[in-house]
Amino acid sequence: MRGSEGVLEERLRELDGRLRGPARLKAELLIELRHALTDATEAYREGGVAPAEAARRAVAEFGTPAQLAPAYQAELGAAALRGLSVRALVVAAVLIATGDLTWQGSSWSDGPPPPESYQFLSASVNVVWLAVAGFSLAALAVGRWSARRSGSGPITLGRLVGLGLTGALAAGLLTGVGLFTWSVRLWDAALTWPPMIIGAMLVGAAYFSLARAARSWLAATG
């Protein structure tokens, strides 16, 4: 029995080494495969096959790691993109709805308007986050569509949408940091204005979460 367990565990370790993506889902997929291999091994044993040989036949029946990995990796990639999309959509919705609250009521809000280039950058931030929201919704739609189809087409489309979302998030980071830095240079009081400080901290935490999700997706599709 121990010999058969060793055969199964070796196959699972080989597959585990090939897979990248959300750790929880990967663990669940490997557990499901372990149960399936165990059931197949038991079926061979009930037919009179020795334990070690039964395990070898079971793993051969399910395929090599190279044969199994693509389907599992596609599922991990889809899950990683779905997780990134949901996080990005929530952050985009919050920033679009509340972004202006960081400066309303401040000591400089009733003063002379900032330069036109600053106003353009400020408007660009909203446009970028609208793009993030759009890519997020598109990624979720592609994920639902891909779940009903097979082949390389859905995977390729999901990768393209994911790259667009990741690029939009990078643009959001650059424009956001640029706008905050420019605001501090224009108005010294901005650096001590509580809504600006709280907003910057919340956005920083949001981007930390988004960066982890984006890294997970990139690893799953790399």
Alpha carbon distance 90, 93 (integer Å): 5
- Range with lowest mean pLDDT among 26-35, 113-122, 157-166: 113-122
How high does pLDDT run on average in the chain?
88
Is residue 2 over pLDDT 60? no
Q: Give pLDDT, residue 187.
A: 84
